[in-house]
Structure 1
């Protein structure tokens, strides 16, 4: 996938690619989301170059939308939730009145984090019992995105009457209303998730990860842990740090010179406590982890000062059984 060159280089901007049938109908729900910077209709997934509306399906392409979003304001998981609420994920032959391969649904992932999130989101949707048929929406590696013709972009704004007639006549509007009218919204789901976390986490873990708290130094679980293994997010389980990068900073908190998986770490400017610091949060769970400082040892010169309460330690001998075998090589000598 090729994001807009003007948007590259900003670490808080990422691109998502979704296929949900007619791209006219897929643009509006995403453009309304706070944190979405742009939405473009286009084609992707096929073998031909520069497809047009007249031939994209013959080349194996699908109608897709490219969503550029600010990770500081909206998460990929929230985009996924919006995506599922626009389609029939049980239909392998198209979407609503639009039939054929070019109108089928798909999630195209740009990186491993997006793939894992998409897989988990699909599994969660299946477990909720909203649909009685199997979910057939595939999760595929992103391919080159080709923008559609100008007249397709923001079609719902340029031709509002025709768009509304098409959307209702296609059967999409009625299907989505019938399917989702009694299902909690994203905001309600967030509230439910918070309540679930209160039950699953200790009071300290919840205070640290959800309320940006700080645990006491020298009186926490991992500050002096010298065992070999990796540290994962206490909420999501995403890999964050390794014992191979851990060192004694003398601060009383677990300290690391670098993240284990850089993409799983998000940094924010923190102006609380009358100072400017760089806060560290996890990508998927958005857990508050701690802060990073530029007073660490070589080779990075960085000190990731992390709360033990935000972490769960996985010993090297347990990596395989926890599905983290890819990190075992760090400890093989």
Structure 2
């Protein structure tokens, strides 16, 4: 039982925890901080370029045909989640409260949504479409929601919008436009994609948490506050899992599509959240704002891995299409 529980902590989670520990003990300062920041920006640009190159036109066309499922996923991601965020963020104050609300405004993940859908024997093609659409739309929708719902907490300005467009949207579109020439090669480079994906996130986390530590993060946040944020993340995930499964039944989705709605609708993207937080919030705030995002990321991986295994053990409904 213990071994099975420990197996849920994939290497990336351990690396993430190690990065936070390293940033707490040896935060980057001066020239080193500048170098780490530039490297993180380059990594994020490359990450979104590769994601754009991987998204096929066929997936876009196929996604448009299953509009009811994808609309439900987007509604949960950008409407239901923020409503829960507005409620739960009132429990905390300051940048931590902003981090909880910011978490609920992010798009869905791509990799884990697809992976858990496959494990649970859901509609993998639909999961690819839903998660990809959520990420693409989130580049625009998330900053707008931050400006609308968070007000002064997020530093939305022309420079912020320009940074998001240049760092996230332009590389994504460029990669997608070059897909006819590099798409097949990029898709085969799974190791490279994993290194860029995880390496860029670790660099941004190290830079953001290091800056927060220099500003006195661990003096402002007690162990009790940390435990409360983790509890809020657990409650948030439980609520959304219940909503997504209930919504699937209400819409009359078959088993495979209901699984897509649950796994794509309940996820929040660390890969998108990390660079967006760096653009939308001041350096002194970023580390604290990202704390709920990181905690939720780990909690969602553990809970959804267990849930996907349970679904996989159930016999498929022979009447589902």
Instruction: Quickly name the TM-score band, shorter chain normalised.
Output: under 0.3
Q: Which has the larger radius of gyration?
A: 1
Output the TM-score relative to the length of structure 2. 0.22
